[in-house]
Amino acid sequence: MSKKFQCPSGMHDIFGERYENFEKVMEVVKRNASIYGFRGIVTPVIEDSGVFTSGIGRSTDIVEKEMYSFKTKRGDNVSLRPEGTAPVMRAYLEHNLYTRPQPIKFFYFSPFFRYERQQAGRYRQFWQFGFEVIGKGSPAIDAQIIIAVFSILGDLGIENVKVKINHIGDEKCRSKFKLALRKYLKEKEASLCEDCKKRTKENPLRTLDCKKCSAKENAPQAANYLCRDCREEFQKVLEFLEEMEIPYEPDPLLVRGLDYYTGVVYEFVSTKESSLLEIGGGGRYNELSVSLGAEEEIPASGVAMGVERVIDLMKKEGKIGKNRENPKVFIAQLGEMAKKKALKLFEEFRKAGLDVAESFGRDSLKSQLGRADKMGVLVTIIIGKEEAIEDKVILRDMESGKQEKVEIKNAIKETRKIIKERKSKSSPSF
């Protein structure tokens, strides 16, 4: 009898209920990606190994221990991709996407590969969905990525999640923090594992996500080394989250296991299952572009969520939300204060069950209105600097071109009126 083959260990066939759950998550992700203005990207499963060794960092667990790397017949060193951000940045640079209007907003839903130790919730092939905003960085963008994830989780019926968040500083304040951390680790050398002893010299931040030694408990915290700009940036992200009522918890020891992070970093965890591994994470990665060959830093921010772990939560507590229609409303804004109000209004519309789109990454009103037009929405809401101060918005009926200023608190009611009018005009009369 010939040999009976099995799926490689740590990998799974996806069919039946598992497949249906995958499809549900994919649908909700696509739907939200379009609402928040992200377009899809698919990169190859294999990349030049350098994309990861330079991008994620040589002394990370992923690169040091978990990559499936091999030589091609021609002798090129390649790896199965262990994550999605570095390949997306590689594609952004390769295709000169910086010459297009910024930022570029991509989402992906793809399989990834890490040679992990076998344990619950850790697979060797797993799926992630992710959002990347490249070419522009701001606290509003960081916050909005987190808000988009909460929107997806909400649509999947997952409510018991919070985001743990920290700020690891820019290059300058991080180097001061590294110095202090190295000093502390040297004093603790005897209690460090072999990896961390090595990492103290090469990359001390990586010792903070070591699962073997507990040296990090009293370690210096990045937050104490932030410069004024970084502190303000962190504060702004937290303010956005507060405003949107996103449950967050500052975690001064959070650094994330990839070297490309700079600035805000965060992880999503279930508030119900204390033992559960995190379901996703992300942050700012302004320096990745340089590691991948760009001449200067390109501001960027992104998140990656583990699909299997999202499905686990969905099965435990989720009920699938309704499929929403194409957005009928677009919110455009001009200026910092307006952006804040627009973000809040955006979520109020969503909560009221009205599908709404935006383009908060873009600052030019013209390009925002162009997008609204392309999407064929019925109503565009404009919050300019003046309106933000007056607590008002401009409602533009896209068909007639008529505009009126209304109180922000009446925006939903007045928008509904216009949509109802349009619907009754477009329904056939018998």
Give me the phi and psi of 196, to 5 degrees please.
Answer: -70, -30
The answer to whether 404 touches 394, Cβ cutoff 8 Å, is yes
Structure token pair of residue 198: 């090595």
Q: Judged by CB, which is closer to ligand AMP: 136, or 309?
A: 309
Under the criterion CB under 6 A, does residue 306 sit at the interface with ligand AMP?
Answer: yes
In angstroms, rounded to a whole number, what is the distance separating the alpha carbons of residues 158 and 99? 39
Applying CB under 6 A, among 45, 50, 98, 122 the residue interacting with ligand AMP is: 122
Q: Judged by CB, which is closer to ligand AMP: 170, or 308?
A: 308
Span of 87-95, 118-126, 142-150, 414-422 interacting with ligand AMP by CB under 6 A: 118-126
Structure token pair of residue 189: 């050398």
Span of 72-80, 119-127, 160-168, 226-234 interacting with ligand AMP by CB under 6 A: 119-127
Q: Judged by CB, which is closer to ligand AMP: 139, or 257?
A: 257
Under the criterion CB under 6 A, does residue 298 sit at the interface with ligand AMP?
Answer: no
Under the criterion CB under 6 A, does residue 123 sit at the interface with ligand AMP?
Answer: yes
- Return the residues of window 265-294 that contact ligand AMP according to CB under 6 A: 278-281
- Return the residues of window 145-164 that contact ligand AMP according to CB under 6 A: none
The answer to whether 61 touches 154, Cβ cutoff 8 Å, is no
User: CB under 8 Å to 346, separation ≥6 — which residues?
Assistant: 331, 356, 358, 360
Q: Judged by CB, which is closer to ligand AMP: 238, or 305?
A: 305
DSSP letters, 166-191, are EE---HHHHHHHHHHHHHHHHHTGGG
Of all helices (H) and strands (E), which one includes residue 264?
A: strand 264-270
- Return the residues of window 232-271 that contact ligand AMP according to CB under 6 A: 257
The answer to whether 298 touches 286, Cβ cutoff 8 Å, is yes
Which residues face 283 on adjacent strands? 265, 302
In angstroms, rounded to a whole number, what is the distance separating the alpha carbons of residues 329 and 347? 12
Q: Judged by CB, which is closer to ligand AMP: 263, or 280?
A: 280
Applying CB under 6 A, among 47, 132, 233, 308 the residue interacting with ligand AMP is: 308
Applying CB under 6 A, among 128, 144, 286, 301 the residue interacting with ligand AMP is: 128
Positions touching ligand AMP (CB under 6 A) are 83, 114, 116, 122-123, 126, 128, 257, 278-281, 304, 306, 308-309
